[in-house]
């Protein structure tokens, strides 16, 4: 007969391997990063000195950081689009028609493609005389010849949205799989009962599917929000921050690895984290379980 405290001890024992790894590779760096945000840190001497919020004051007045933060927040536009699309695609591939496995795999391939390789391919799609321009010209959506050649990643008015489209393409499969798991957990009887009651497909989607995958919606929305706000890799492979696509995390990277000012980079990173937490809290309110 075991008592509850020994159960707790055993539980922690099972958790220990993961906790130790996370402690070393996640919690410790996050904690140290937070500490650095309030200090002047010299790598050469390894000395950190308290600086009275100097980094925060600096980035509060830094117009480049403001516009970078604006771009990161703008990037959130991709979240609702990718979530709705992923749910719809998941619904479409969640049937037993022949060949469905092919579609599921096809949607997932971009997820497992290395971002650097996908970036090279998409740079050619977006090149002014690349595939997208060709397609638009073939469909007569833009003028023929050099006049219709659009530098998709070089025009500051559209470049960020083009990068978002890349993120959409790269990420949709990931959320589709999560939604698929959520959809398959819905008992068939519920839907069958609704059909017998005369509910149409639209009603069934909104009244049954959406409410029943709500926990998955919360999870996916959280994940894609965090991914959007820390958009960096797609920027570095496609535009390197040119044409008004500079994001907050790019600023963090520049401060840390171009200026070697790790304290300022950490402070900017902390501001990004603050926005992530705030948005997560809002999402929990909307989609979370009511107690």
Partner 1 sequence: MKLKRTVALAAAVFAATSLNALAAGKVQVEYWSNSLSPKFDSVMKDLTGKFNASQTEIEAKWVDVPWDAFQARMVAAVASGNVPGLVNLPKPWMDQYAQSKMIVPITKQASGFKNVYTEGANKDASYDGQIYGLPWYQVTGVLFYNKDLLAKAGVKEAPKSFTELMQTARLVKEKTGVAGFAPKLNDGFTGWFLYEGLPVIKDGKAVFNSPAHVKLVEEFAAAYKAGVFPKDVFKMQFEDQIAAFGSQKIAMFAEGAHALKRTKTDSPKVYAETGVAGFPQAGGKTPFGGFLFLWSVPKGYKNVDAAVKLGKFLTSDDAQLAFAKASATFPSSNKALDDAYFQAGAKSADPVERATSVAATAIKASRTLTVSGLPDEATMNKKLDDEVQAAVTGRKSAKQALDDAAAFWNGKLASK
**Closest of 263, 214, 23, 238 to residue 126, by C-alpha:** 238
Least spacing, CB of residue 227 vs partner 1, in Å: 22
Least spacing, CB of residue 131 vs partner 1, in Å: 14
Task: Tell me which residues in 186-245 interact with partner 1 (CB under 8 A).
Answer: 239-244
Q: 38 CB contacts (<8 Å, ≥6 apart)?
A: 50, 51, 53, 55, 263, 267
Please give the size of the binding site for partner 1, defined by CB under 8 A.
32
Per-residue mark of binding to partner 1, 111-130 (x: CB under 8 A) = ------------x---xxx-
Least spacing, CB of residue 127 vs partner 1, in Å: 6
Residue 42 interacts with partner 1 (CB under 8 A): yes or no: yes
Which residue from 258, 285, 290, 291 is in contact with partner 1, where contact means CB under 8 A? 258
Please say which residue, 8 or 26, places its beta carbon nearer to partner 1: 26
Please say which residue, 151 or 191, places its beta carbon nearer to partner 1: 151
Please say which residue, 123 or 194, places its beta carbon nearer to partner 1: 123
Residue 146 interacts with partner 1 (CB under 8 A): yes or no: yes
Residue 43 interacts with partner 1 (CB under 8 A): yes or no: yes
Task: Tell me which residues in 46-75 interact with partner 1 (CB under 8 A).
Answer: 46, 62-64
| Neighbour tally for 287: CB within 10 Å | 16
Pick the stretch among 7-15, 44-52, 136-144, 225-233 that binds partner 1 (CB under 8 A): 44-52
Helix 131-138 to helix 115-126 angle (10° resolution) is 40
Please say which residue, 234 or 254, places its beta carbon nearer to partner 1: 254
Please say which residue, 126 or 174, places its beta carbon nearer to partner 1: 126
Residue 257 interacts with partner 1 (CB under 8 A): yes or no: yes
Q: How far apart are CA 41 and CA 70, in angstroms?
A: 27
Pick the stretch among 7-15, 71-79, 84-92, 145-153 that binds partner 1 (CB under 8 A): 145-153
Contact residues: partner 1, CB under 8 A? 42-46, 62-64, 123, 127-129, 146, 149, 151, 153-154, 156, 239-244, 246, 254-255, 257-261
């Amino acid at each position: 007969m075991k008592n509850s405290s020994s159960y707790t001890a055993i539980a922690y024992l099972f958790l220990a391997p993961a906790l130790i790894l996370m402690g070393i590779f996640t919690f410790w760096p996050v904690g140290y990063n937070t500490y650095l945000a309030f200090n002047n840190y010299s790598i050469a001497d390894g000395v950190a000195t308290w600086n009275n919020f100097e980094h925060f004051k600096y980035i509060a007045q830094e117009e480049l950081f403001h516009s970078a933060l604006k771009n990161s927040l703008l990037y959130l536009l991709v979240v609702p689009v990718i979530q709705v699309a992923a749910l719809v695609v998941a619904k479409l591939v969640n049937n037993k028609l022949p060949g469905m496995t092919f579609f599921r795999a096809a949607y997932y391939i971009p997820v497992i493609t290395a971002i650097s390789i996908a970036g090279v391919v998409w740079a050619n799609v977006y090149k002014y005389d690349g595939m997208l321009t060709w397609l638009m010209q073939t469909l007569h959506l833009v003028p023929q010849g050099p006049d219709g050649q659009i530098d998709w990643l070089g025009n500051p008015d559209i470049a960020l949205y083009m990068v978002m489209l890349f993120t959409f393409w790269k990420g949709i499969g990931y959320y589709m799989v999560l939604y698929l798991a959520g959809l398959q957990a819905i008992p068939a009887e519920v839907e069958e009962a609704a059909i017998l009651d005369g509910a149409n497909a639209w009603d069934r989607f909104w009244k049954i599917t959406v409410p029943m995958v709500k926990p998955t919606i919360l999870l996916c929305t959280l994940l894609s929000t965090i991914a959007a706000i820390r958009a960096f890799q797609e920027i570095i492979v496609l535009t390197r921050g040119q044409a008004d696509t500079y994001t907050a995390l790019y600023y963090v990277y520049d401060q840390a690895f171009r200026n070697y000012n790790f304290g300022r980079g950490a402070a900017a990173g902390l501001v990004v984290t603050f926005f992530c937490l705030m948005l997560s809290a809002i999402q929990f309110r909307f989609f979370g379980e009511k107690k």
